[in-house]
C-alpha cells in the first residue's frame, strides 16, 4: 500500500561484520599502484578513508521506521489475505471454532492491537456472545 511504512524486525548487529567482509572480498581500496606486483597490492594497507568507512558499517545499527496502520488498512489486508482461509475453516468446522479463537485472541493483544482500538470510535460497544 502506498504511504505505509516498512514493518519488520531490526537486523541483528552480528550480520554487519559478515556483510562488510563480503564487501571487502569484492572491492578494496589500498595504498598501492597499478604497476606493483599482485602480492604487493594484496599486502598493502587499506586507505584510511576506506578503513574508516567499513569500520563504520560494522558498528552501524539498522533501524526500520514504522508507521501505525489504520483500521481501514488492516481490514483491507485481513479480507484479502485471510478471507479465503476463514471461509474454508467456517465450512470445515463451523462458526464455533472461529468464535472461540476470537474470544481467546484478546488475551494475546500487543500494543499495535490496542492502538487499533484507540483509533476506532464505535457507535455501540462490541460484545461477543457465544451462541
Residue 6 pLDDT: 43
Residue 106 has pLDDT above 90, yes or no: no
How confident is the model over 14-34, as pLDDT tens digits? 677 778 888 888 888 888 888
How confident is the model over 76-89, as pLDDT tens digits? 999 999 999 999 99
Exposed e or buried b per residue across 103-114, where buried means at least 16 C-beta atoms within 10 angstroms of its C-beta: eeeeeeeeeeee
Exposed e or buried b per residue across 49-79, where buried means at least 16 C-beta atoms within 10 angstroms of its C-beta: ebeeebeeeeeeeeeeeeeebeeeeeeeeee
- pTM of whole model > 0.85? no
Residue 2 pLDDT: 43
Residue 129 pLDDT: 65
Spell out the domain ranges in the chain: 1-67, 71-119
Residue 5 has pLDDT above 50, yes or no: no
Amino acid at each position: 500500500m502506498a504511504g505505509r511504512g516498512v514493518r519488520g524486525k531490526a537486523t541483528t548487529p552480528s550480520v554487519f561484520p559478515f556483510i562488510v567482509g563480503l564487501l571487502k572480498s569484492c572491492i578494496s581500496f589500498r595504498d598501492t599502484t597499478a604497476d606493483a606486483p599482485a602480492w604487493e597490492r594484496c599486502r598493502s594497507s587499506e586507505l584510511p578513508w576506506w578503513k574508516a568507512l567499513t569500520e563504520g558499517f560494522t558498528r552501524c545499527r539498522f533501524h526500520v521506521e514504522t508507521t501505525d496502520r489504520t483500521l481501514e488498512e488492516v481490514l483491507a489486508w485481513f479480507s484479502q489475505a485471510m478471507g479465503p482461509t476463514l471461509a474454508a475453516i467456517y465450512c470445515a468446522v463451523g462458526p464455533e471454532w472461529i468464535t472461540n479463537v476470537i474470544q481467546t485472541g484478546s488475551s494475546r493483544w500487543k500494543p499495535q492491537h490496542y492502538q487499533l482500538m484507540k483509533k476506532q470510535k464505535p457507535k455501540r460497544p462490541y460484545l461477543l456472545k457465544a451462541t
